[in-house]
A and B are shown apart, each in its own frame.
Chain A
């Protein structure tokens, strides 16, 4: 097997759903990721949906999704013996990923400073709702809370209803990606200098760091951008993003200037060919079109004509014929549609992962990106609870079978 970008490095992953994705990405890059669960299993194994809709810690499809390629051991960190075992493991790894309340690891004698004593090279990535320090550090958070507090939630939803959350679980996913980036940056520095450190990731910070355009609008014009349904607002200008067709929805953005001109021209021509009323013909020069300079009413006139046009076609027509014409609309695909996407299939995006304990096999996304000299793929289903206890405790820590049996009996593992 070809190696991966980070083959040969190891991580202990103590995260819950707020941090799963970080370890998943590192595992796909070749890091040996060992999930450390409390005896009985991580509580996040209770997150639905479940295989065949049967609630069971070994059947959470949510857990399956974001713990691929990880190993699992069970360990009670609240007892001294468990803490000792954990410190022994820390000696042998490169990363610790955790998402406990700030201060909790410290209260167990397992905070960054304590782990550094054991392994000065260790990188500890801590993922929490609001960060390690500050007035809200002890506040509880979640996907929804972080989206609210980070300023993205207010910008999503229909204006006549409360703000609405983004597709699941956007905050956790982006946080995992940000945490993975922070972790590899710290890793790069560590490999050159020998110095480890703690990486402090906050869900709220991850959300707020994305509020670019709206920050600009507030700071420069004192204009607050809120939610506007299927219309995308960039600054004061707003253009429709989501269009209803005969059988569903497509994404197509009315973009200004030289960048948008070829698609705009092609769409206008197609509206003419359909024999529909076409006020877009009034636009003198598509290359010079500056949407921020035309009135909302004028945009509305154009958009009404476009809306009639989209409703005149099926999604498939808009997408396939649109590609030939350079319009490049994209269909708003359901999960079932995503599994059928021919581009993804052509790029070998799917991997069948076997779940032998339930005699089933499911297709999972295989790559986050492709590299020419390394394989960085999802390879293996998520682990069962404590599936690798024997491997890790016997082979890695050299415990005998009687020692392991005693640890099990006393609830340490």
Chain B
């Protein structure tokens, strides 16, 4: 196997649902040994999701797979009386502990940071949560939408004359893991240099609120309260989604500079309306944006979304088809080139696409493996990673620890 960037990094992964699972995935996809600690007594939400799966199996859910590639699965009932000794051995083995339970949960079970640090003083432990580990809201639970609501993101998504809307895909849940994984790796490097471990407390609303810093400053400096604004932005026109041939097909066009505006006009054949003074400058186009968008739509409607993109891009105007996931999988040569959605075989579900990391390390490439079945590696982890004898493993197993 080719070398991977995080080879040799050992992660004890108590992560679950999206935030914790994805944090572990980011590390595993680049070569860290990630042991996902889970239990049939309280399976991950995404192992039980019945959206696609019609059985009660814990191993036939592709949602779980998307969030848990490149991991080992160890089944361990944390509430079993003999679980603590196994957890302690895991911690001695690990460099990193990753978790995202509601703050306080791990401590209540006896596996909080104080305990873990007692066993391994230079451990790196990261906990992700909605609100953070301290403050008046620390003990409260939250989900993807909590971060989206409290960070200003939802307020700014939608049309000015209507209420906020949300994408049918996670937002905060996919943002937070990128930051936690970054912190973990930076902390590993810090430990390499200083010998010191680290506790990392990452809050969804804190990460997400950074995103709207320009809107925060606009309020502070100018007392201008930004609101939903459809697809329009102040420094480009036309800038929007335009209807094309076909059912619910659209193309995005974004004209920022004067040069792009000239190229746009030329690309659509310089019709008379483009010569009108009210469309001559960015400012005048912004003032007449309704009419401008109607005119652009008249032209885009005569073409397929693919044609609009190609005509625009050939002329040097930023444009892109509003793609469906079917397009991503079947009609996008760029994503194919990047192997972004990689078909891999899962032992139960067969071949389907696995999202690969959102960046490419060109020398130490990510090697994505499909997700493990529940407890698939329990014995392997115990004997190979933790150094248990087979007799010891069999005894603990008989007592029901590994469920």
The 8 A CB mask of A150-169 against B (1 = contact, 0 = none) is: 11111111100111111111
Q: Given the interface contacts A151-B325, A338-B216, A346-B135, does A25 sit within 8 Å of B182 by beta carbon?
A: yes
Interface size on A, residues (CB 8 A): 154
When C-beta atoms are compared, the residue in chain B nearest to A154 turns out to be B322
Cβ-defined partner of B157 (8 Å) among A141, A164, A204, A228: A164
Tell me, rounded to whole Å, the shortest Cβ–Cβ distance linking B228 to chain A: 8
> Are B313 and A211 touching (Cβ within 8 A)?
no
With a cutoff of 8 Å between Cβ atoms, the chain A residues found around residue B207 in the complex are 368-369
With a cutoff of 8 Å between Cβ atoms, the chain B residues found around residue A364 in the complex are 213, 216-217
Tell me, rounded to whole Å, the shortest Cβ–Cβ distance linking B11 to chain A: 13
With a cutoff of 8 Å between Cβ atoms, the chain B residues found around residue A173 in the complex are 175, 210-211
Cβ-defined partner of B361 (8 Å) among A51, A65, A185, A328: A185
Q: Given the interface contacts A259-B45, A362-B220, does A242 sit within 8 Å of B166 by beta carbon?
A: yes
Q: In the complex, identify which listed stretch (A75-83, A245-253, A302-310) lies at the interface while the others stay far away.
A: A245-253
With a cutoff of 8 Å between Cβ atoms, the chain B residues found around residue A157 in the complex are 158-159, 165
> Are B215 and A168 touching (Cβ within 8 A)?
yes
Tell me, rounded to whole Å, the shortest Cβ–Cβ distance linking A218 to chain B: 5
> Are B157 and A370 touching (Cβ within 8 A)?
no
Which residues of A from 206 to 221 have beta carbons under 8 Å from B?
206, 208-221
Cβ-defined partner of B216 (8 Å) among A164, A290, A335, A360: A335
When C-beta atoms are compared, the residue in chain A nearest to B213 turns out to be A65
Q: In the complex, identify which listed stretch (B266-274, B349-357, B384-392) lies at the interface while the others stay far away.
A: B349-357
With a cutoff of 8 Å between Cβ atoms, the chain B residues found around residue A104 in the complex are none
> Are A181 and B235 touching (Cβ within 8 A)?
no
Cβ-defined partner of B189 (8 Å) among A6, A136, A170, A211: A6
A371 to B164, CA, bound (A): 34
A49 to B220, CA, bound (A): 12
A188 to B49, CA, bound (A): 36
Q: Given the interface contacts A61-B217, A216-B63, A335-B215, does A371 sit within 8 Å of B198 by beta carbon?
A: yes
Q: How many contacting A-B pairs (Cβ < 8 A)?
A: 497
Interface size on B, residues (CB 8 A): 145
> Are A371 and B183 touching (Cβ within 8 A)?
yes
> Are A64 and B211 touching (Cβ within 8 A)?
no
With a cutoff of 8 Å between Cβ atoms, the chain B residues found around residue A334 in the complex are 152, 155, 225-227
Q: Given the interface contacts A149-B321, A188-B189, does A333 sit within 8 Å of B149 by beta carbon?
A: yes
Judge if B163 is at the interface, Cβ distance under 8 Å. Answer: yes
Judge if A379 is at the interface, Cβ distance under 8 Å. Answer: no
> Are A134 and B149 touching (Cβ within 8 A)?
no
A323 to B137, CA, bound (A): 9
| Chain A facing B: main interface SS | mixed
Which residues of B from 44 to 72 have beta carbons under 8 Å from A?
45, 48-52, 62-63, 66-67
Which residues of A from 324 to 353 have beta carbons under 8 Å from B?
328, 330-339, 341-344, 346-347, 349
Tell me, rounded to whole Å, the shortest Cβ–Cβ distance linking B39 to chain A: 14
A200 to B182, CA, bound (A): 17
Judge if B241 is at the interface, Cβ distance under 8 Å. Answer: yes
Which residues of B from 196 to 232 have beta carbons under 8 Å from A?
196-203, 205-207, 209-222, 224-227, 230-231
> Are B355 and A224 touching (Cβ within 8 A)?
no
> Are A184 and B186 touching (Cβ within 8 A)?
yes
With a cutoff of 8 Å between Cβ atoms, the chain A residues found around residue B187 in the complex are 5, 371, 374
> Are B221 and A61 touching (Cβ within 8 A)?
yes
With a cutoff of 8 Å between Cβ atoms, the chain A residues found around residue B178 in the complex are 174, 177-178, 180-181
The 8 A CB mask of A274-318 against B (1 = contact, 0 = none) is: 000000000000000010110000000000000000000000000
The 8 A CB mask of B319-334 against A (1 = contact, 0 = none) is: 1111111111100111
Tell me, rounded to whole Å, the shortest Cβ–Cβ distance linking B255 to chain A: 10
With a cutoff of 8 Å between Cβ atoms, the chain A residues found around residue B186 in the complex are 5-6, 29, 184
A404 to B355, CA, bound (A): 49
Cβ-defined partner of A164 (8 Å) among B142, B230, B242: B230
Q: Given the interface contacts A209-B358, A360-B221, does A195 sit within 8 Å of B135 by beta carbon?
A: no
> Are B66 and A215 touching (Cβ within 8 A)?
yes
Tell me, rounded to whole Å, the shortest Cβ–Cβ distance linking B362 to chain A: 5
A237 to B145, CA, bound (A): 17
> Are B320 and A369 touching (Cβ within 8 A)?
no
> Are B182 and A177 touching (Cβ within 8 A)?
yes
Cβ-defined partner of A140 (8 Å) among B241, B318, B361, B363: B318
Cβ-defined partner of B320 (8 Å) among A149, A235, A249, A344: A149
A179 to B134, CA, bound (A): 29
Tell me, rounded to whole Å, the shortest Cβ–Cβ distance linking B207 to chain A: 6
Cβ-defined partner of B165 (8 Å) among A135, A154, A158, A170: A158
The 8 A CB mask of B119-143 against A (1 = contact, 0 = none) is: 0000000000001111111001111
A174 to B152, CA, bound (A): 16
Cβ-defined partner of A214 (8 Å) among B169, B234, B361: B169
With a cutoff of 8 Å between Cβ atoms, the chain B residues found around residue A233 in the complex are 168
A288 to B231, CA, bound (A): 41
With a cutoff of 8 Å between Cβ atoms, the chain B residues found around residue A332 in the complex are 149, 154-155, 164
The 29 sampled A-B contact pairs (Cβ below 8 Å) are A29-B182, A65-B214, A134-B338, A135-B334, A142-B236, A145-B254, A145-B318, A147-B252, A155-B168, A168-B214, A178-B358, A185-B185, A191-B189, A198-B363, A205-B359, A208-B328, A210-B174, A212-B169, A225-B168, A235-B51, A241-B145, A241-B166, A242-B163, A334-B227, A337-B152, A346-B135, A360-B221, A362-B217, A368-B210
Known: A344-B205, A369-B179. 12 other contacts (CB 8 A): A62-B214, A65-B214, A145-B252, A167-B211, A169-B211, A185-B5, A219-B352, A233-B168, A242-B164, A251-B146, A347-B135, A362-B221
